[in-house]
Structure 1
Amino acid sequence: MPEDSGHNGHHGASIELESLSKEYPGNPTPAVDNVNMEIKAGEVVILVGPSGCGKSTTLKMINRLIEPTGGRIRIGGEDVTDIDPVKLRRKVGYAIQSAGLFPHMTVAQNIALVPKMIGWSKTRIASRIEELLDLVGLDAGEFRGRYPRQLSGGQQQRVGVARALAADPPVLLMDEPFGAVDPITRDHLQDELIRLQHELHKTIVFVTHDFDEAIKLGDRIAVLREQSHIAQFDTPEAILTNPADDFVSGFVGAGAALKRLNLSRVRDVEITDYPTVTVDDPLQEIFNRLRSSGTNEILLLDKRGRPYKWLRRGDLMRARGSLARAGTLVSDTVTRDATLRDALEAVLTDNAGRVVVTGRRGEYTGVVDMETLMNSVHELLDADRLEALEAQHELEGARAERTHAEQEGEGGGMKA
């Protein structure tokens, strides 16, 4: 990640919650009761649980937006329970649902808030704004001077993440940050967060009620019961294959094999190349390329190399010198960080048996087809069946041993 002078990229810091509790006057039971958790530096930990279980309260106690009633919080080994909360919040980025941007401030002014507060120079702030907008995939020239009302929900959310990262804090807290956007935008924002994390290695604590989102994003997931009691704190794989109890099983829900598609990424499977042309290519050249490609369609890219339309032979016949009305718009794309589940949904939505894979600026990088995805599904289902079979054999073996031991015991009793 590029850095301006005097700006050192902070990687994540460890977080320790020790006997953390929150009681509200007049409530007989604590909202959060005695939570103990260790989060490693650079780890993405997801807090997931039913509505009202205290997950947001726990999150907000980490940056002391809510003051704990009892217990300690350590960030990078330093006890932050007693330091000035304003100083603490400069070390901890915070992103919430619907972005929470100030409507009367431009995008640049929103991002500059914390750097300005801690006394960064104007040139350093300006360069940081450029860098962050680029990082979250927004063109600085186009978006810097806009107001939140001039942005889509997904764009607002990207600016919210940029603002949370402005002073390069080691810790990022995210409270249902993508909860208010449509499913396709949400998938893309999740992919973006995964890509950012590959570059930044922050410590991220993320609250969601969506278990699929938890599986997709988390290095580890804490499944919380009432009062933030931890039912299970483990990797997504471990929770999917070995839920601790019925409460956790209920959260995992049906179709664990399909949920495991959230653990595999598009970059883990074969991405094939596909014949492409650009909007600047002459029609005859496009026709020749399609004829020599051996396929019955070709992908048309825009001037920036981004997928624009699928063109079939019949479309070209009807084009009559112009591609304006020809072809079918590319409705959905996935990135290399998208999950196989995202890719499968995109393929099924498109009805064409494949989905285009794009790079960080939306540029074409290849295609993933239905056959590749179905092979992955079958591999996961086979692995699940094998695991279930092994577990059954173990159970039967244990039962047989127990029965044998009981019979031995009875036999011994009779001899006596």
Structure 2
Amino acid sequence: MPETGDHGASIELESLTKRYPGSAQPAVDNVSMEIKAGEVVVFVGPSGCGKSTTLKMINRLIEPTGGRIRIGGEDVTDMDPVKLRRKVGYAIQSAGLFPHMTVAQNIGIVPKMIGWSKPRVRERTEELLDLVGLDAAEFRGRYPRQLSGGQQQRVGVARALAADPPVLLMDEPFGAVDPITRDHLQDELIRLQHELHKTIVFVTHDFDEAIKIGDRIAVLRERSHIAQFDTPEAILTNPADDFVSGFVGAGAALKRLNLTRVRDVEITEYPTVTVDDPLQQIFNRLRTSGSNEILLLDRRGRPYKWLRRGDLMRAQGSLARAGTLVHDTVTRDATLRDALEAVLTDNAGRVVVTGRRGEYTGVVDMETLMNSVHEMLEADRLDAMEHQHELESLRASQTHAEQEGAAGPAAVSGPGGER
């Protein structure tokens, strides 16, 4: 296996241990793990199990008591920790932005420290703001207090990526924002990873979040002992023990909705018009569309309102008060669970799918989502039947072996027919 991917670097933890003075037990005890280049690995476990301590030892914010850390094959256990941290991006809960610095200054701090020129720092800052979905002209001069929680987290991720590090460490980065913003930030991270292929180690206590973003999940017990380290599919369908089952919880089949993205199902076209279209043209478009409603887009092509025939009849020359505002949207990187929740809160049973700048790209409806759920449940049923068949075959083989053993030792013929 190559040590580095296109943009990420492998991480190897070898017998990593952390003991605090005066504690009877180590906080982290003898953890060994290999993380592939370009992989997203999520640490999930109960509070106090040592997952954040393990994460912080990778960039030596917490110094290990024992063990080794290798990044891209290079032993960084004894490297200058400040030099190491400049090569490893780090994003935390509540963003951790410097309040007295502008957005641009926050993002550019590490590139500036390692000697990048001002034009290069400025160019990188604008590139990253665009990458995390913030308009550079609007946001680069703002201070953190002038941003929403979700915007602060986006800037925090941009700052962690500023010097283009191969490794990104994320310690519950979306834990302090509301659920809707959190879903959008998770989608944004998934989209970014498709473009950047970093090696990401992500800490969360939320198993659903782990399923959604992780290529592999490490379920950790106390002192960061690894209960199971596998793909989300494998953990959902075959948890290693009761401790892991407790994290999976009830409804494993429905949790698998977090493994399928909106881009994996059929996204249908819907009749659309824009706010600049004449009212008669909008009415004609609705009449010829064969649909009971039409989607009104704003001047940037973003979903604005759902319009029905009755809305247009009552419009009286203006759309200002006509129609129903579009509240919930999902991106192509959203999970089917996100889409299902959005559809269930909408009386009409559909949700608009948008692109990275919020532009309209299509619609997903309840029928499509329910078909996907039924397919997953059927796949689970077939897997369970196959697993049961394998168990029965194994028991039959064991019974057969026991019966043969009871009949006496097998005869082994030697030269000359001797036994």
TM-score band w.r.t. shorter chain:
over 0.9
One of 272, 278, 281 as aligned partner of 1:285:
281
- Aligned residue number for residue 48 of structure 2: 52
- Aligned residue number for residue 83 of structure 2: 87
- Give the CA deviation at 1:408: 6.1
- Give the CA deviation at 1:394: 2.6
One of 62, 79, 83 as aligned partner of 1:66:
62
Q: Do structure 1's residue 296 and structure 2's residue 303 form an aligned pair?
A: no
Residues 190-209 of structure 1: matches in 2 within 5 Å? 190-209=186-205
Contact 2:10–2:35 (Cα < 8 Å) also in 1 = yes
Distance 1:275 1:67, change over 3 A: same
Contact 1:54–1:227 (Cα < 8 Å) also in 2 = yes
Deviations 1:348-388 (A, max 9, x none): 11222111111111100000111011000000000111111
- Aligned residue number for residue 137 of structure 2: 141
- Give the CA deviation at 1:246: 1.2
The one-letter amino acid of 2:145's match is: R
- Aligned residue number for residue 96 of structure 2: 100
- Aligned residue number for residue 176 of structure 1: 172
Contact 1:296–1:313 (Cα < 8 Å) also in 2 = yes
In 2, the alpha carbon distance for the partners of 1:228 and 1:404 equals: 42
Residues 328-339 of structure 1: matches in 2 within 5 Å? 328-339=324-335
Contact 1:10–1:168 (Cα < 8 Å) also in 2 = no
In 2, the alpha carbon distance for the partners of 1:352 and 1:26 equals: 61
Contact 2:258–2:335 (Cα < 8 Å) also in 1 = yes
Deviations 1:207-243 (A, max 9, x none): 0011111111011111111000111111111111111
In 1, the alpha carbon distance for the partners of 2:54 and 2:406 equals: 54
The one-letter amino acid of 2:360's match is: Y
In 2, the alpha carbon distance for the partners of 1:291 and 1:14 equals: 58
Residues 3-18 of structure 1: matches in 2 within 5 Å? 11-18=7-14
Contact 2:306–2:326 (Cα < 8 Å) also in 1 = yes
Contact 1:310–1:328 (Cα < 8 Å) also in 2 = yes
TM-score between both structures, scaled by the size of structure 1: 0.95
One of 144, 163, 171 as aligned partner of 1:167:
163
- Aligned residue number for residue 309 of structure 1: 305
Contact 1:111–1:159 (Cα < 8 Å) also in 2 = yes
Q: Secondary structure at the match of 2:129?
A: helix
- Aligned residue number for residue 150 of structure 2: 154
Further displaced range: 84-93 or 342-351: 342-351
Deviations 1:122-157 (A, max 9, x none): 111111111000000000000011111111111000
In 1, the alpha carbon distance for the partners of 2:216 and 2:347 equals: 34
Contact 2:102–2:144 (Cα < 8 Å) also in 1 = yes
The one-letter amino acid of 2:305's match is: K
Contact 1:10–1:169 (Cα < 8 Å) also in 2 = no
- Give the CA deviation at 1:389: 1.5
Q: Secondary structure at the match of 1:138?
A: coil
In 1, the alpha carbon distance for the partners of 2:24 and 2:384 equals: 44
The one-letter amino acid of 1:349's match is: T
One of 269, 273, 292 as aligned partner of 2:265:
269
- Aligned residue number for residue 21 of structure 1: 17
The one-letter amino acid of 1:253's match is: G
- Give the CA deviation at 1:399: 3.5
The one-letter amino acid of 2:380's match is: D
- Aligned residue number for residue 414 of structure 2: none
The one-letter amino acid of 1:304's match is: R
Deviations 1:267-311 (A, max 9, x none): 111111000000000111111101111111000000000001111
In 2, the alpha carbon distance for the partners of 1:212 and 1:37 equals: 22
Structure 2, unaligned stretches of length 5 or more?
410-419
Q: Do structure 1's residue 128 and structure 2's residue 124 form an aligned pair?
A: yes
Contact 1:41–1:203 (Cα < 8 Å) also in 2 = yes
Q: Secondary structure at the match of 2:352?
A: strand
In 1, the alpha carbon distance for the partners of 2:169 and 2:194 equals: 17
TM-score between both structures, scaled by the size of structure 2: 0.94
The one-letter amino acid of 2:348's match is: A
The one-letter amino acid of 1:50's match is: P
Contact 2:6–2:38 (Cα < 8 Å) also in 1 = no
- Give the CA deviation at 1:317: 1.1
Q: Secondary structure at the match of 1:350?
A: coil
Contact 1:10–1:170 (Cα < 8 Å) also in 2 = no
The one-letter amino acid of 1:237's match is: E
The one-letter amino acid of 2:119's match is: T
The one-letter amino acid of 2:221's match is: R
- Aligned residue number for residue 416 of structure 2: none
In 2, the alpha carbon distance for the partners of 1:202 and 1:295 equals: 44
In 1, the alpha carbon distance for the partners of 2:195 and 2:400 equals: 58
- Aligned residue number for residue 5 of structure 1: none
Structure 1, unaligned stretches of length 5 or more?
1-8
Q: Do structure 1's residue 244 and structure 2's residue 240 form an aligned pair?
A: yes
- Give the CA deviation at 1:410: 6.0
- Give the CA deviation at 1:409: 5.9
Aligned length: 405
The one-letter amino acid of 1:74's match is: R
- Give the CA deviation at 1:412: 6.8
- Aligned residue number for residue 379 of structure 1: 375
- Identity within the alignment, %: 90
Q: Secondary structure at the match of 2:89?
A: strand
Residues 201-240 of structure 1: matches in 2 within 5 Å? 201-240=197-236
